[in-house]
Amino acid sequence: MSKIAFVFPGQGAQYVGMGKDFYEKHPIAAEVFDKANESLGIDIKQMCFEGPEDELVKTENTQPAILTTSIAILKVVEELGIKADVTAGLSLGEYTSLVYSGAMSFEDAVKLVKKRGKYMQEAVPVGKGTMAAIVGLEREQVQEIINDASSEGIVEGANYNCPGQIVLSGEVKAIEKACEIAKEKGAKRALILPVSAPFHCKMLVPAGVKLSEELDNISMSPLSVNVISNVTAKYIENEGDIKEFLTKQVSKSVLWEDTIVLMLEDGVDTFIEIGPGKALTGFTKKTAKKLGKKVKTYNVQDLSSLNKLVDEIK
């Protein structure tokens, strides 16, 4: 029996024009964008469809924009009768998973991630922290780099995306040092990323504290679909744990490769990435290949990719 996972993208996947074709063709998607505008009191729909890009890339706009687009597309996928056995999302994408599972309402989630973006942006003065992608080294080698570079300041593993791709986060000097060491160790690439803050490291703890206060005002419902947490790479057993996981998630590593491994071990063989971009599809393929598992992967971000999914799954 085939098992399906829905996976949802995080920050960085956004682009101007995302979701527009769904809005125009599917009333159920249009409803989501309209609901987001109403909940936020800003025209997030216009920002998704027309930009300007410099507004869309501001963290406090990017996060609700991606969440809204992903949920709008998800509603269309659901309307076609396609369901998931398990779900997970990368960082911000975890909120989309929690909405899909019924743990959180869309209206609560979209307001929450706007604040989450704002708190994450404000936690560290601009220019003090950054992130870097290390490509082509094993996890153990990257851990050695972290240990060596930490003499220059804070440096931590932020995103364990897939075999051979890990993102580091921390103070600028320490991250620059880590990139130097990575190149010496034979990394294919060690690139400083164009991000506005050092996400998923302990410099973001103050953002987690503020987020936790917001989470106290939100009621969580029991999960109707299995959701895997970024922080533990395990299933969330109880809706009572969600607030703690989301608070920690801001300043802890995103264990994405481990999340996909858990799904593969539990018999998931079809992965559907829903929302803008297709980075997660690439990560899934690399992780499955390393384990010698055969998988089907789809990404649904526009009407043509939706049609491809429908042709093959129905």
| Shared-domain flag, residues 66 and 134 | no
Which among 126, 133, 139, 147 is positioned nearest to 179, based on CA atoms?
Answer: 133
Q: What is the pLDDT of residue 244?
A: 97
Show Cβ contacts of residue 258 under 8 Å, excluding neighbours closer than 6 positions.
160, 233
| Shared-domain flag, residues 42 and 67 | yes
Report the pLDDT averaged over residues 120-139.
95
Residue 185 near residue 145 (C-beta atoms within 8 A): yes
Q: What is the pLDDT of residue 307?
A: 96
State percent of the chain over pLDDT 90: 96
| 3-state secondary structure at position 134 | strand
Active-site residue identified among 196, 200, 229, 253: 200
Residue 314 has pLDDT above 90, yes or no: no
Q: How many CA atoms lie within 13 A of 247 on its CB side?
A: 14
Report how far residue 17's alpha carbon sits from residue 40's, in angstroms, rounded to the nearest whole number: 19
Q: What is the pLDDT of residue 194?
A: 84
Where does the pLDDT of residue 16 fall: very low under 50, low under 70, confident under 90, or very high at 90 and above?
very high
| Shared-domain flag, residues 234 and 278 | yes
| Shared-domain flag, residues 35 and 167 | no
pLDDT (tens digit per residue) in 59-74: 999 999 999 999 999 9
| Shared-domain flag, residues 216 and 100 | yes
| Shared-domain flag, residues 163 and 307 | no
200 is catalytic: yes
User: In whole angstroms, how large is the CA radius of gyration of the chain?
Assistant: 19
| Domain of residue 167, residue span | 129-195
State percent of the chain over pLDDT 70: 100
Residue 89 near residue 95 (C-beta atoms within 8 A): yes
Report how far residue 131's alpha carbon sits from residue 171's, in angstroms, rounded to the nearest whole number: 8
Residue with tokens 């103070």: 171
Q: What is the pLDDT of residue 261?
A: 98
91 is catalytic: yes
Domain boundary among 148, 164, 195: 195
Specify the number of domains making up the chain: 2
Residue 223 has pLDDT above 80, yes or no: yes
Domain boundary among 195, 216, 235: 195
Cis peptide before 52 (omega within 30 of 0): yes
Active-site residue identified among 26, 39, 70, 91: 91
Residue 254 near residue 157 (C-beta atoms within 8 A): no
Residue 47 near residue 67 (C-beta atoms within 8 A): no
Show Cβ contacts of residue 159 under 8 Å, excluding neighbours closer than 6 positions.
90, 91, 166, 167, 200, 253, 254, 256
What DSSP state is assigned to residue 235? Answer: B
Distance of CA 62 to the CA centre of its chain: 12
Share the mean pLDDT of the chain: 97
pLDDT (tens digit per residue) in 147-206: 999 999 999 999 999 999 999 999 999 999 999 999 999 999 999 998 878 999 999 999
Question: Exposure string (b/e) for 224-243, b if CB count within 10 Å is 16 or more?
Answer: ebbbbbbbbbeebeebeebb
Domain boundary among 171, 195, 219: 195
Residue 112 corresponds to which tokens in the numbers above?
Answer: 């929450």
Show Cβ contacts of residue 289 under 8 Å, excluding neighbours closer than 6 positions.
none
Residue with tokens 């010698």: 292
pLDDT (tens digit per residue) in 288-303: 999 999 999 999 999 9
Residue 1 has pLDDT above 80, yes or no: no
| 3-state secondary structure at position 131 | strand
